[in-house]
Structure 1
Amino acid sequence: MLPERTSPARMSKEEFRKVGYYLVDSISDFMDRIGDGPVTTGETSTQLQAFLGTTSLPETGMTADVIMKRAVDLLFNHSLFNGHPKFLGYITSSAAPLGALADLLSAAVNPNVGANILSPMATEIEKQTIGWLAEFIGVSPTYGGILVSGGNMANFTAFLAARTAKAPKSIRQDGIAANDARLVVYCSKATHAWIEKAAFFFGIGANGIRWIEQDDFGKMHIGLLEQAIKRDLKNGYTPIMVVGNAGDVSTGVVDDLKSIGALCKTYNLWFHIDGAYGIPAAVIPELKNVFAGVEDADSIALDPHKWLYSPLEAGCTLVKDPQTLIDTYSTHPVYYNFNSSESQHNYYEYGFQNSRGFRALKVWAALQHVGREGYINMIGKNIELSQLFFRLAQRHPELEAITQNLSITTLRYVPAERPDDAKGKEAYLNTLNEALLNRLQRKGDVFLSNAVIKGKYCLRGCIVNFRTTEKDIEEIIDIVVREGRKIHKESVNVL
């Protein structure tokens, strides 16, 4: 019997088990006490670099247990914890613990989910996950799609599919520069910045975006949308796509998806829904009317790492006709021997990546672990807590509640004493609340983000957290008021 090859990367069964048990025990303790300390330490880059050290790359290796113990110390004592019950900033959820174990298993097998032959079971699990996600949000499980890194990539993937489907076919060979068609896309002024990136990256250009004003409810104004389409057609432009928001990132507003879908049918445009944040709420029966029209979408972006509580990274693009992704992304270089069977599903033909990690496993596992009823409960609870946040702000004499939609509440601190003139008052409140947000984020008692709504700089709390409770929301109100008073007092003393 030939001796086993020795390798610096190799770990014995005993060593792997020892380090693995230590890590799992450490993570278990961390998850059990995640709400006991601050959301973040607020340490500066200079401080963090001092903890990390500035030594050169080691010439020789170190033992795995020493490395892992140091990594645990660095991450558990010097991080921002988006799983903390008082983390309401941006839209990163508290990650389901099972997802961490699924990621470990995925990394151990290490399938390349770019080609079926390289990842036979992982490919089937991703296909099943895609079908379950479609079913979850209320569209046909025959929708196809692909798991990607997050919202930007999910929307980019759909954007190029729309361009392939609706732009002149000669663009694939000759490019946009050689084509006289002036392509335009339409979206609400509340649409996430991904649309600007996509227009720049993929040849539409910033002037190819038609930013449609919002109505009194924060939704894209349907009348103005149709006027813009008609005007562009009359002036020789080529409309290709309308983007509807299913939970815009600032306020959580869901556009009138049904009316947008009807306009897209009338004018033969691709209907894309950016539901990266909000579309999972479509699972709640009481919100069915809010999301009416989702089934008309040609493509939908959603992020399991937002409101399905998956660890990063996990985004998803769903398309009504999966062939549109193949038409957009499929290539067949001679060195690919990936199509020995017509039935093989090769994910490199569905998106940007050739080599792809196994993102689906953690989503697949959580969908089964929690179940539809569990998600209805958790998502519904997040919405209830957001509504409580809004009501408490309404009742407090030093807070102004601004908006509440889905699980997002916006508000601002408004001290009793402030400048008398309206213009000076608004400028002061904007400055005050921006300073308040920065202090809150540094101190780490709570982590909120911001939104600017009709010129008002607001604190924004987005609850996609299964650990947050009513007590946390009540304490957050107290923290905001306490710190707001301090900053206002400091400002008055300076003035």
Structure 2
Amino acid sequence: MTDSRRSPIEIDEVLFRTVGHQLVDTIAQFFDSIKERPVTSGELPKQLQEILGHSPLPEHGIPIEKLLTKVSTILLNHSLFNGHPKFLGYITSSPAPIGALADMLAATVNANVGAQILSPMATEIEKQTVSWLAEFIGVSPNYGGLLVSGGNMANFTGFLAGRTAKAPKRIKEEGLTGLSAPLVFYCSKATHTWAEKAAILFGLGANAIHWIETTADRKINTLVLEQTIKADKEKGYQPFLVVGNAGDVSTGVVDDFRAIADICKTYNLWFHIDGAYGIPAAAVPSQQGLFAGIEEADSLALDPHKWLYSPLEAGCTLVKDPNHLLETFSSHPVYYNFDNTEEEIPFQNFYEYGLQNSRGFRALKVWLALQQVGKSGYVQMIEEDISVSNYLFELASRHPELEAVTQNLSITALRYIPQGYNPSDDYLNNLNEALLNELQKGGQVFLSNALINDQYCLRSCVVNFRTSKKDMEEIIDIVVNEGRRVHAALRQK
């Protein structure tokens, strides 16, 4: 009888080292050549399915050398690369190379960071990462929290903590139907769609969102906010939460947090900041005035996989009083043996802080990058992203066929306007939408869209440590040349 088991999924040390080195070489070459590649292959699902093939599930295993060579070729030749210097669409950053190595190491340990006993060192690393993120953006490192998958989950976590804190205590036993007054909360019309998801998924209903109009500069109108809260209380509603935006997704505008905080204190409301995109800019000295008042927030959402350049997935919720997370999410089924209150420092079990029980080791890539770069390195990169975005706005302002529409943080919105056309012409919305579709398929540059004052705009968001001013000059030429071609084609129809 042998004293060991040989499983078909094992890889012996020599082979692992050989294929691992080859894969790292391939990835290193990819990082070095990414600027020369197209941003996207632009292939349609049918084309991609043909490349992948239609074979059934293999009955027998395939050699790992062949598998890794094949999958590297497929992914590195038929993907969209958000690490490309001309990827400026949506808010997915260029991933830090150290994050790729960190994910490999994290997968090797395979820590379940739901309970301290299952992930002793990983738990401590995540605790330190949360503290460092709080310190980085300028709030107390005593804020507690956890790493989550992204902005939706980070905002959901803060939202639920706020609901538990401000709703009547019987909500945990009786649910929403046991409340004497309907819960309502407040967002500006520029707030991300997560707020609508939260209202629907967590039982309040979409009508529980009381949307507040924005001012001319797209900030939440705090005068209207306070008037609406007063009117709602008189109507028998129970307000519980206000959302402030630290960089709205369309234009990057930051709300007036001090004014929101004052209103929340007056009416005993939970103050939540959606900083999934923009709040890392609070660390930049020249931008700190925009974020005055963030220390008043009861909870904040930020995404390291946005402006801290972490590979997906990495979001984070920070809460001023971490006990609100425990009150919201903690449960103690009899089959859990995860507590040890006899220790000098009690165990922290992250399953009690959020929606997940089983949790991957997301913190490692963030923790390593924060140390590799340091605060000063991140401040430098964020400043450069803002400067590059400003440069695009300036170039668009000077070009006779472009209209520079807005610029905030690292987001610039612009439109292509053929010479001789009135900027209010309805045709321009169709033209710019058609132009964006062509740009996204073409592989030279990847932008997204924003609807600003009913005008369809091309939107550029720079959260990319590879993007330079030279890229912006080239993007202007690409947009104008493609705009002329699309305009000519539309006019012929």
TM above 0.5: yes
> CA offsets, 1:77-136, max 9 Å, x none?
000000000000000000000010000000001000000000000000000000000000
Cα pair 1:436 1:483 within 8 Å, conserved? yes
Q: 2 CA distance for matches of 1:250 and 1:208?
A: 23
Could you tell me which residue of structure 2 aligns to residue 128 of structure 1?
A: 128
> CA offsets, 1:298-332, max 9 Å, x none?
00000000000000000000000000000000010
Q: Secondary structure at the match of 1:300?
A: strand
Q: 2 CA distance for matches of 1:124 and 1:9?
A: 31
Amino acid in the other structure paired with 2:412:
T
Superposed displacement of residue 179, structure 1: 1.9
Amino acid in the other structure paired with 2:374:
G
Q: 1 CA distance for matches of 2:288 and 2:381?
A: 17
Map residues 54-65 of structure 1 onto 2, 5 A cutoff: 54-65=54-65
Superposed displacement of residue 417, structure 1: 3.5
> CA offsets, 1:357-407, max 9 Å, x none?
000000000000000110011000000000000000000000000000000
Q: Secondary structure at the match of 1:34?
A: helix
Could you tell me which residue of structure 2 aligns to residue 466 of structure 1?
A: 465
Superposed displacement of residue 469, structure 1: 0.6
Could you tell me which residue of structure 1 aligns to residue 383 of structure 2?
A: 380
Q: 1 CA distance for matches of 2:265 and 2:177?
A: 28
Map residues 328-343 of structure 1 onto 2, 5 A cutoff: 328-341=328-341, 343=346
TM-score relative to the length of structure 1: 0.98
Cα pair 1:426 1:456 within 8 Å, conserved? no
Amino acid in the other structure paired with 2:363:
A
Cα pair 1:171 1:179 within 8 Å, conserved? yes
Amino acid in the other structure paired with 1:60:
H
Q: 2 CA distance for matches of 1:226 and 1:8?
A: 65
In the alignment, does 2:432 pair up with 1:433? yes
Q: 1 CA distance for matches of 2:361 and 2:318?
A: 17
Identity %: 64
Q: 2 CA distance for matches of 1:178 and 1:324?
A: 21
Superposed displacement of residue 2, structure 1: 4.9
Q: Secondary structure at the match of 1:440?
A: helix
Q: 1 CA distance for matches of 2:235 and 2:196?
A: 23
Amino acid in the other structure paired with 2:153:
M
Cα pair 1:125 1:361 within 8 Å, conserved? yes
Could you tell me which residue of structure 2 aligns to residue 453 of structure 1?
A: 452
Cα pair 1:192 1:248 within 8 Å, conserved? yes
Map residues 470-485 of structure 1 onto 2, 5 A cutoff: 470-485=469-484
Q: 2 CA distance for matches of 1:63 and 1:169?
A: 58
Unaligned runs of 5+ in 2: none
Could you tell me which residue of structure 1 aligns to residue 280 of structure 2?
A: 280
Could you tell me which residue of structure 2 aligns to residue 400 of structure 1?
A: 403
Map residues 79-478 of structure 1 onto 2, 5 A cutoff: 79-341=79-341, 343-418=346-421, 426-478=425-477
Cα pair 1:186 1:241 within 8 Å, conserved? yes
Q: 2 CA distance for matches of 1:341 and 1:239?
A: 37
Q: 1 CA distance for matches of 2:50 and 2:490?
A: 33
Q: Stretches of 4+ moved more than 3 A in 1?
A: none
Cα pair 1:90 1:462 within 8 Å, conserved? yes
Cα pair 1:282 1:288 within 8 Å, conserved? yes
Q: Secondary structure at the match of 2:35?
A: coil
TM-score relative to the length of structure 2: 0.98
Cα pair 1:144 1:322 within 8 Å, conserved? yes
Amino acid in the other structure paired with 1:479:
I
> CA offsets, 1:4-58, max 9 Å, x none?
2110111100011011001000000000000102100100000000000010001
Q: Secondary structure at the match of 1:339?
A: coil
Superposed displacement of residue 3, structure 1: 3.0
Q: 1 CA distance for matches of 2:37 and 2:99?
A: 23
Superposed displacement of residue 489, structure 1: 1.0
> CA offsets, 1:239-288, max 9 Å, x none?
00000000000000000011101110111000000000000000001111
Could you tell me which residue of structure 1 aligns to residue 21 of structure 2?
A: 21
Q: 1 CA distance for matches of 2:37 and 2:425?
A: 35
Superposed displacement of residue 180, structure 1: 2.0
- How many residues get paired? 490
Amino acid in the other structure paired with 1:457:
Y
Q: 1 CA distance for matches of 2:384 and 2:142?
A: 30
Amino acid in the other structure paired with 1:483:
E
Q: Which range moved further: 484-493 or 438-447? A: 484-493
> CA offsets, 1:176-226, max 9 Å, x none?
023222100001100000000000011211111011111111100010000
Q: 1 CA distance for matches of 2:161 and 2:132?
A: 22
Unaligned runs of 5+ in 1: none
Superposed displacement of residue 340, structure 1: 2.6
Superposed displacement of residue 492, structure 1: 1.7
Q: 1 CA distance for matches of 2:287 and 2:391?
A: 18
